[in-house]
Structure 1
Amino acid sequence: MASIGQIVEQTTGGEVLSRARARAALVPDCMVEARRIANTVIAGWHGRRKRGIGENFWQFRPYAEGESLAAIDWRRSARDDHTYVRDREWEAAHTVWLWADLSPSMMYKSTFGAVSKESRALVLMLALAEILARSGERIGCPGIMEPVSARNAAERLATAIMHAPQTAGLPETGMIRGHSDIVLIGDFLDDADRIMERITPLARRGLRGHVVEIADPAEETFPYSGRTEFTDPETGEKLVSGRAETVREDYRRAYLSRRETLGESLRRLGWSFAFHRTDHLASEALVTVHGYLSGLPAGGINGGTRT
C-alpha cells in the first residue's frame, strides 16, 4: 500500500522481481506452518455450529414430553433409566473473505525482520484459509477467487494468488454480498483517513471486518544512524539523511500515531484491529485473528497485540 512519508531501505528492481518469483516458493512453507498450528487453533474453532437439521451428530439430551417418539435414540436410552434424544447439527457455512496486500511496500525486509512483510502476510492469509476450510467455512479473496467451501481451499487460494496481477491499495469489494467477514492483512501505511474512506462503506454494508497490520521491526524502531539513503518502493522517491538518528523520535511519533488513529477509527466502526511484527511468530497473529472471528473478547498477545 502506498505510504505517506514512509521510510524504507532501498530495494532494487531486480530484488522486487526476485521476491515476486519467490512468492510461489512460499506456498509449501505456508502449508506446513498452517498445519503445524492447526492442532492448537482448530480445537477451539467451531464455525457457526448449532443444533438443527443435518447429518452430523451434535449431542444427546433428555427427552421432553410432547416430542416425537421417532426422535428418541433407543440404544443410548437403554444404557440407563433415562430417555434420550439424539440431536443433529445444523451447519451454517459462513463466508470469510481474505485479502493480503501484495504491493511493493510489502516486499520490504530489514536485517531485523525474520521475513518480508509480503511473506508474512501470505503465510497468515493462507494459514487462516486452511483453518477456516477445516471448519467448513466458505473462503474467498476479493477480485482473485470466488468463495469456495472445500478442504483444499487454501491450496486453491494459493494457486489463484500466484496468477494474480500485482495490485496496490485496498481490494475492490463490489462482488461481496450479504453479511460476511473480511480479513485485511497489510502494512496500512497510507494516511488513516484515506484508509477509512475505503473501509467505512464496507462496514455500512454489514461486513464484519478484521484488520491486521504487518510491520517490519525496523519500521517501528527506526534503528538507523549516520548518513543513510532511504527509498520509497512505491514511488522511487529518495531521501538522504546525514544523521538519521536526529529524526528518530519524530519518525516514531508519527508512525505510532498513524497506527493509533487507524485502530481507534476501526473500533468505532465495530471492526477489530491488530498489529504484528515480522520478528514474532506467525502463529501468534493467527491466534489473535482466530479469536476475533470466534467472537472472543480482546486481550493482549505477544507479537500480535489486539486492540
Structure 2
Amino acid sequence: MASIGESVGSTPARDALTRARQRAMLVPDCVVEARRIANTVIAGWHGRRRRGIGENFWQFRPYAEGESIARIDWRRSARDDHLYVRDREWEAAHTVWLWADLSPSMTYKSRFGTVSKESRALVLMLALAEILARSGERIGCPGIMEPVAARNAAERLATALIHAPDTQGLPDTRMIRGASDIVLIGDFLDDPDLLMENIGPLARRGLRGHLIEVYDPAEEDFPYSGRTEFSDPETGAKLTFGRAETVREDYRRIWFARREALGDHLRHLGWNFVPHSTGALASQALIAVHAYLSGQPTAPARKERT
C-alpha cells in the first residue's frame, strides 16, 4: 500500500534470491517470538476433549444400560447408589495443515504496524505448530513439509520455510487426504469471488478450514493525505493521488465490504474467519484460532469503524 521505490538492476532471479535471504534472517527471530507467545496460550489448551481410546482420565459419567460391565469404576460407584463409568480422553493424533502466504505483498509494513505482515504470519504459523505439537497433533505444510508428529515440529517447519519459494495464490492441497484441519494465513487481497473459487473445493473435500486475514493498520485506516504514490509490490504497477485524503471514505467502504463478503462466504462453507491487525497482539489471533481448533469457538468482537 505504501510508496515503494523501484530497485535498480532488478531481475526475477535476483529478487527471488533477495527474498530468500530476507526470510532466512527473519525466521529465527520468528521462532523465538512464536515460542514466547505459545507459552502464554498453552495453559488454556485442553486438546479436543472427547472420549475415546487413550491413557488420560477425562471424566466419570453414569453407566448406561447395554454398556460393558467391565467399564464400570466400582470404587467411584461405591460412594453412592449409582454406577459410574470412567471415560478416557481421545488421544488419536489429528493432522493440522498450516500455511502462510510468502508473496511479496506480505513484506509490507507501515509506521502504524509493529511488524511486517510476513513476520506476523510466520509467528502465528510457528506458534500454532508449537502448541499443536505439544498436544500430540501431526503438523504439515502443503508443498513444504509432510505431516510430522514430533515435539520439535515448529523447528522443523521453520527450517523448511527458510528454503521455501515465494508463493502465489493458495497452496496446492492435492496431497491432503482424509478429514483434516487447514489454517491459511495471509492478507487475501484478491477478489473474494476468486478466492472462494479456490477455497470452495477444499471445503467440499471435507477440510475444516480456518482463515487468518493479516493486515497492516494503514491498509484499513488509509491515513494518507496530499500527493501519495502507491506501488504494487508484486506487479510494480503504480497509482498516484494528488490529494489522497479525498478517496479515504470510498477506500474504507470498499475495504470493509470486501472483508464482510469474504467472511460471509467462509462462514457459509462452515469455515472460520479471523481478521488480525499487525498493530494488535499476535496472541489475540492465536487464541481465537486455537479455540476453533479445540472445538470451543468464541465469537470475535467486531472492530469498530472509525
TM bin, normalised by shorter chain, reads 0.7 to 0.9
* 2:4 aligned partner: 10
* 2:56 aligned partner: 57
Is contact 2:59-2:88 (8 Å) kept? no
Distance 1:61 1:288, change over 3 A: closer
Instruction: Report the secondary structure of 1:91's partner residue.
Output: coil
Encode CA deviations 1:88-114: one digit per residue, 9 max, x unaligned: 544111111100000011111111111
The answer to whether residue 112 in structure 2 is matched with residue 112 in structure 1 is yes
| Inter-partner Cα distance in structure 1 for 2:47 and 2:175 | 23
* 2:232 aligned partner: 232
Encode CA deviations 1:18-58: one digit per residue, 9 max, x unaligned: 5642322333333333333334422232333544444x331
Is contact 1:49-1:91 (8 Å) kept? no
Is contact 1:9-1:110 (8 Å) kept? no
Distance 1:106 1:300, change over 3 A: same
Q: How does 1:11-30 map to 2 (within 5 A)?
A: 12-13=6-7, 20-30=20-30
Instruction: Report the secondary structure of 1:236's partner residue.
Output: coil
Distance 1:51 1:261, change over 3 A: closer
Q: Which moved more, 1:194-203 or 1:8-17?
A: 8-17
Is contact 1:63-1:72 (8 Å) kept? no
Deviation at 1:254, TM superposition (A): 1.1
Unmatched tracts of structure 2, length 5 or more: none
The amino acid of 1:172's aligned partner reads: D
Q: Structure 1 vs Structure 2: percent identity of aligned residues?
A: 70
Give TM-score scaled by structure 2 length.
0.85
| Inter-partner Cα distance in structure 1 for 2:57 and 2:253 | 52
Distance 1:53 1:170, change over 3 A: closer
Is contact 1:57-1:86 (8 Å) kept? no
Give TM-score scaled by structure 1 length.
0.85
Is contact 1:34-1:131 (8 Å) kept? no
Aligned length: 292
Instruction: Report the secondary structure of 1:183's partner residue.
Output: strand
Distance 1:51 1:114, change over 3 A: same
Task: Give RMSD over aligned pairs.
Answer: 2.8
* 1:4 aligned partner: none
* 1:166 aligned partner: 166
Distance 1:301 1:286, change over 3 A: farther
The amino acid of 1:67's aligned partner reads: I
* 1:3 aligned partner: none
Unmatched tracts of structure 1, length 5 or more: 1-6
